[in-house]
Amino acid sequence: MNQKPVMLEGVRVVDLTTVVFGPYATQILADLGADVIKVESPGIGDAFRWSGKAAVTPGMAPAWMALNRGKKSIALDLKTEADREVMLGLLRDADIFVVNVRGKALARIGLDYASLKAINPGLIYVHCVGFGQDGPYADLQAYDDVIQAATGTTTLLPRVDQNPQPRYLPSLIADKVAGLHAAYAALAAVVHKQRTGEGQHIEVPMFEVFSSFMLLEHLGGLSFDPPNAPAGYFRQIDPDRQPFPTVDGHISIVTYDDGAVQRIFALLDQPDFLATNGLGTPQERLRGMSAIYQGIARFTPGFSTAELLRRCNEAQIPAQAVRDLGDVMDDPHLRDVGFFQRREHPVEGAWFQQSAPVRFSVAEHGKQIAPPPLHSEHETSVRNQGWKAFDSVE
């Protein structure tokens, strides 16, 4: 049997990023088969190494491991001439440079785009920044919380539950969304380079990225001039659009189309609910979705979650049981598709790696992914061999 090709085999990526935004982008590239060298600072390295409890080695937090598998780690003090020369040596032969250091600091150490273009004209330079560099926020620092605040995301939950206290969504969602944008931008630039031979500078500003992401639906009536409704997508901020209680838990039921709205009450043994509550026509039902959600919530407590799931599946109504975060690893679907893979880290012992979620029919998604590295684990091989370190096993 012929081995399938690896899509990004031979693509060389230098990763000078920390925390989530940049590392998520380079993780995607590593999963697709690229050779990724993660450049960390001496000492503690990427601060995200310390974001949770390690199993064995301090600085090997679980979230860091999830974002940095398949990479080689080297520690460089870029304030010293010797280590800058090591860095420049890697960049001379690199295809992609992903960096989240602010522009002025990069210029001081000769890692700005103009300087690197002079030594590697084909370099794809992906600058992960907080804010677009031609705006008044250009020099400000940005983290996920700051971006959630600036984009209005912290005012979404108050719209739902009428508690005026602004709140963060408990996920590094802005970082991860920005990382996805950085990854696809880098891949688009790879295609452009294959066609033209040109490298280029790419700016990925988290504020603008996440504004676009959140306002796709939530700009709402402000999309028009003059506005014809407030900001916010009404379906998402409806306080009654919540998981429904059952006799033994909660269930998510989505009655998005009118056919499902009509079927759900028959399923709940309440076939006359719509007609007797002024919801007999499609127009009345569209205007009365809050009343429909309230009606569903009245009747679901009479059923077990399993029974409702069975009925919804038979009626072609999307539904899933509400599962605790700590129980997701037990999901039978994720088990059968091999989403969680038990691996043996040479130092940390057994750990669960999450599979890349996208599948390709022709090419392999990526080579066999190496475990996430210890801090500066590949110091000797990368310093001595450069990119040839990927040809040997350390």
d(CA 289, CA 233): 13
Q: Which of 161, 175, 225, 258 is catalytic?
A: 175
List the end-to-end C-alpha distance of the chain, in Å, as a whole number: 29
Q: CA 83 to CA 87: how far, in whole Å? A: 6
Residue 100: partners with Cβ closer than 8 Å, 6 or more residues away: 16, 17, 18, 19, 21, 22, 127, 128, 129
Each as own residue / partner, the long-range contacts of residues 286-289 (CB below 8 Å, 24 or more positions apart, any chain) are: 286/258, 289/235, 289/238, 289/240, 289/241
- Going by DSSP bridges, is the β-strand pair 124-129/200-205 parallel, antiparallel, or unpaired? parallel
Q: Which of 371, 377, 366 is nearest to 39 (CA)?
A: 377
The CA distance from 150 to 356, in Å, is: 31
Task: List, in sequence order, the alpha helices (H) in 10-137.
Answer: 21-31, 62-67, 81-92, 103-108, 113-119
> Chain-centre distance of CA 325, in angstroms?
17
Whether 175 sits among the annotated catalytic residues: the reply is yes
d(C-alpha 367, C-alpha 382), whole Å? 19
Distance CA 289, CA 48 (A): 43
Distance (Å, rounded) from C-alpha 316 to C-alpha 312? 6
- Regarding beta strands 244-246 and 249-253, do their DSSP bridges make them parallel or antiparallel, or are they unpaired? antiparallel
Structure tokens that stand for 139 in this block: 């020099």
Residues 6+ apart with CB under 8 A from 178: 21, 128, 204, 206, 209, 210
> What positions carry a catalytic annotation?
175
